[in-house]
Structure 1
Amino acid sequence: MNGEEIKSTLKEYNLQSWSKQRNLNPISVEKADGIYFWDYDGNRYSDMSSQLVNMNLGFGNKAIGDAIKEQVDKYCFVGPSYGAESRAKLAKKIIELMPDNMGKVFFTNAGAESNENAVKMARMFTGKTKVFSRYRSYHGSSFGAGNLTGEPRRYALEPGIPGFVKFFDPYIYREPIEFESEEAATKYYLAKLREQIVYEGPESIAAIVLETITGSNGVIVPPNGYLPGVRALCDEFKILMICDEVMTGWGRTGKMFGFENFDVKPDIVTFAKGVTCGYVQLGGVVVSKEIAAYFDDNLLSCGLTYSGHPLACAAGVACINYYEEADILKNVNEVGKILGEKLEEMKTSHQSVGDVRYIGLFSAVELVKNKESKEPLVPYGKDPEGIMGKILGLLKERKFMTYTHENMILVAPPLIITKEQLEEELAKLDEVLEIVDKQFI
């Protein structure tokens, strides 16, 4: 097929996620390498969101591809109850990367399945039913993970499953209270969470689930002391702390896992995305030694046909090896520093930029109509005039490819990006924000 044939066939036969289907115009991709991909007309695009914040090592990584080919030559599949070398190796590598309280890993196919199985395990282990998660959160779109999700993508699942309770993020930029410090904000948010735990009945709460750093809903980095404070509340009330590391895991924040930035040890960690960088689908749930030991004599009522798929695990082993051998964390921290500096410059120079938030190579630009009032460029959960779509179109014209959510532009490039590449691409974003200043506020 040529590019137009691919596009027309997709539009006729394929349903595309999160989209009204009528006016879709997908780019047909002919080839890809590093942070770039090309359409069938030879146009080169820059992947500034790592696709769906999952292609941490970019396109065309030979080490990952070779590992998959080697496993194909052995066998492509054997069921979860059989011994597969790639499955064994990857499980061991993951546990070795985790804090010393973690014991075993259960493999899934993606982040949504990871979060659903984490909730199941928490309920089985504790014998309790309620699960807390935050309003500005996305944990997946399957039925269980969708109920765990707090933002508008949960609406299609409602009325939802009983026992899922929402609480508010430490979203300081949008809080009407003027806090004197991050520590003061932390004290406030933890007090409100504690109050809600008491009101819901701690004897019924199995787990608190958090994206370690809120992802697509704004890259909201928790204030000083917040995550240790949540950990303390979980300990006080015998609640499990589950960190969703689907986006923040695998080097995205400058640490191998996001929670390492905040000196906490979760009871359960969920992951996906960067474990294989999209080369084959894989996710997982890592549980503490205590939880793992519980299932020695109690039935683990979780199962998936493709749990620990040999091809995916081979890709995962190769990814972890590459992260370490190429010293990817060093690049994330060095290039991430430049990202933060450039975004701060844009915040100062553009009237449409209300706030920028970043850690490592994970960032969001929050757009507003007015810096003083902080009125969002588009209302929460709505974009009646398609403004964010138009801004994406302006970026696409410049071959800067990312996605938006609410009034945010996500900037989360592959972790292999160089300083020169980043500066070249951020110049395009800066140019588009000039247009936003003049035309949309």
Structure 2
Amino acid sequence: MNPKLSTAAMQQATRRTIVKGSQHWPHKSPALSRVMDNQSHLKLSPEHDQPMGTWSTEQIRNATSQSVMMTWAPGKAKHNTPLITHGEGVYLYDDQGKQYLDWTSQAVCSNVGYTLPESVLQATLQQMTQLPFLYGGLGLCETRARLSQLIAEILPGDLQGMVFPSSGSEANEAAIMMARRYTGKYKVINWYRSYHGGTANSQQATGDFRRWYGGDHVPGFVKAFHPNPLFWDLAGATPEERTQMALNMLEEQILNEGPDTVAMVQFESVIGGGGVIVPPPGYMQGVRAICDKYNIVMHCDEVMVGFGRTGKLFGFQHNEGVIPDIVTAAKGITAAALPLSMTACRKHIMEYFEDNPLGWGSTYQAHPVAMACAYENVKYLIQNDIIGHVQRLAPILEDNTRRLAEHHPCIKQYRCIGLFGCFDVANPDGSNPQLQHTAIDKAFVEYKKAYTANGLIGLMRPPHLHVAPPLVITEDELLDGFERQDKALYVLDDALGY
């Protein structure tokens, strides 16, 4: 028997069977019939007939225990996580009626708190009613044009090419692809202690322990030391000499990697989760000069600090004269009300992609509802001088971080910029009580209990303690937050043995 003929005959018979059976297929395929019959008679449990907001605490906890998974924390953490029912202003409230002052804007993203501007609500509802979705490659809409023009107007220089992914990770994925395709090179240099996302390339771009979760096997990423390293310093050198030495080290890395292989230098303008680490004066200008010298794209990751957190619209604007080739941002673009991010590039890069596909995309890139939310949110930030408000409160935040550092021996040092502050905690012998990749130390467990008991809620990344309240916080609320943290820090002092 000829196997080829046999195969063809079998395929033809199969086609005849499918066509013939398609007229009365439930009777021809009992197994499929049972599956479809079950699907057509699916029933919701009676609990789902209850309106949203009416489930009891027990119902919510049971469903959470059965089906909810955590992400950066072990799953069992969900059993001790507060059940939040609503928010108002800069406060969140749990199912027991307890009030929490949001001390870190959750993940440094809920920048306008929980009473959203009416203009944001109305624009989002209008867009959802008018055009709830449009795939970005099939059509254009007014919302996309408006948001693109608005962001181009508020960015300095010729940063005018706009892509709108859904998350910071995606924005950085787009930036990496953009740089690689534009330059024809593939290596990306990042700082240690940085964070760029949780997807394949953005995770490997990350400079802390979270890149280990993916196996640390994605090629093309090179790590550089931040000019403010964690464990060592150039003793006796002036600040200017330390900055120059850090730039010399970066340039040497590029030379040893091969400038013709390095597509991009990708840095957080201010390292966020790693401890609010600000580059020293002159450093970013030096990076810009090195990138120009070797035809390398300079990318500033503004996912955490963009849209006002540092007292400038974007963090890189604290470095006079520096215009990155690519800027990414997320979180603050919608104040976390809806998932959206941005990847902006300079004109010469945008023009390259007029004739070449970017090579990155997603179903929800340029989602019209999220863009409508972002458009009104960014307008609100500018029209209500939220950045000026941050600048006015920044000295108060710094005064109080200094006060707490002076009063609590567990605080080794602090750093602040705008409404973004961080304490570094140390043991009595000066050592770190915990590194970020290690299990939470029992002292921080006690601190977290006191933090919660005193009505604070926020991101906890020991040995760094962040302070990043919503940008709309009042002076009285800010002072109240520091009084609450002051009480919790006494517990940490005791727990560490001071």
Normalization by structure 1: what TM-score? 0.96
Deviations 1:175-197 (A, max 9, x none): 33335443222112111111111
State the match for 2:91 in structure 1: 36
State the match for 1:149 in structure 2: 206
State the match for 2:186 in structure 1: 129
How far residue 233 of structure 1 moved from its aligned partner, in angstroms, is: 0.9
Matched residue count: 439
Distance 2:285 2:430 in 1: 29
Q: Which has the higher strand share?
A: 1
Q: Is the 8 A contact 1:378 1:387 kept in 2?
A: no
- Aligned to 1:30, the other structure's residue is in SS state strand
- One-letter amino acid of the structure 2 residue matched with residue 92 of structure 1: Q
Distance 1:246 1:179 in 2: 35
- Aligned to 1:223, the other structure's residue is in SS state coil
Distance 1:76 1:433 in 2: 47
- One-letter amino acid of the structure 2 residue matched with residue 286 of structure 1: A
Deviations 1:41-70 (A, max 9, x none): 211111111111111111121322221111
How many percent of aligned residue pairs carry the same amino acid? 33
Aligned partner of 2:455 among 394, 399, 414: 399
Matches within 5 A, 1:20-419: 20-24=74-78, 25-61=80-116, 62-81=118-137, 82-171=139-228, 174-263=231-320, 264-370=322-428, 374-383=430-439, 385-419=441-475
- Aligned to 2:353, the other structure's residue is in SS state helix
State the match for 1:4 in structure 2: 58
Q: Where does structure 1 lack aligned partners over 5 or more consecutive residues?
A: none
Cα 1:193/1:374, change in 2 over 3 Å:
farther
Distance 2:482 2:330 in 1: 27
Distance 2:390 2:302 in 1: 17
How far residue 380 of structure 1 moved from its aligned partner, in angstroms, is: 4.9
Q: Where does structure 2 lack aligned partners over 5 or more consecutive residues?
A: 1-54
Distance 1:414 1:440 in 2: 30
State the match for 1:421 in structure 2: 477
Deviations 1:340-393 (A, max 9, x none): 1111112222211111011001111110113xx641121352136343333222
How far residue 424 of structure 1 moved from its aligned partner, in angstroms, is: 0.4
Q: Is the 8 A contact 1:366 1:408 kept in 2?
A: yes
Which is bigger in relative contact order (C-alpha 8 A, separation at least 6)?
1
Q: Is the 8 A contact 1:172 1:185 kept in 2?
A: no
- Aligned to 1:256, the other structure's residue is in SS state coil
Cα 1:380/1:32, change in 2 over 3 Å:
closer
Deviations 1:124-172 (A, max 9, x none): 0000010001111110111111111110011111242111111111225
When the two chains are superposed, the root-mean-square deviation of aligned CA atoms in Å is 1.5
Distance 1:380 1:41 in 2: 32
Does 2:71 match 1:17? yes
Cα 1:350/1:4, change in 2 over 3 Å:
same
Deviations 1:276-317 (A, max 9, x none): 011110011101101001011122212211111011000011
Distance 2:369 2:57 in 1: 29
Q: Is the 8 A contact 2:433 2:441 kept in 1?
A: no
Q: Which moved more, 1:236-245 or 1:5-14?
A: 5-14
- One-letter amino acid of the structure 1 residue matched with residue 224 of structure 2: F
Distance 1:23 1:260 in 2: 38
Cα 1:425/1:179, change in 2 over 3 Å:
farther
Distance 1:132 1:47 in 2: 34
Distance 1:357 1:388 in 2: 20
Cα 1:380/1:43, change in 2 over 3 Å:
closer
Distance 2:446 2:198 in 1: 26
Deviations 1:413-437 (A, max 9, x none): 1000011000001011112222222
How far residue 400 of structure 1 moved from its aligned partner, in angstroms, is: 0.7
Distance 1:259 1:312 in 2: 25
Q: Which moved more, 1:96-105 or 1:118-127?
A: 96-105
Normalization by structure 2: what TM-score? 0.86
- Aligned to 1:297, the other structure's residue is in SS state coil
- Aligned to 2:422, the other structure's residue is in SS state strand
Q: Is the 8 A contact 1:210 1:242 kept in 2?
A: yes
Cα 1:417/1:156, change in 2 over 3 Å:
same
How far residue 252 of structure 1 moved from its aligned partner, in angstroms, is: 0.4
Distance 1:102 1:176 in 2: 36
Q: Is the 8 A contact 1:248 1:257 kept in 2?
A: yes
- One-letter amino acid of the structure 1 residue matched with residue 85 of structure 2: E
Please tell me whether Structure 1 or Structure 2 has the larger radius of gyration of its CA atoms: 2
- Aligned to 1:139, the other structure's residue is in SS state coil
Distance 1:360 1:427 in 2: 19
How far residue 35 of structure 1 moved from its aligned partner, in angstroms, is: 0.5
- Aligned to 1:170, the other structure's residue is in SS state coil
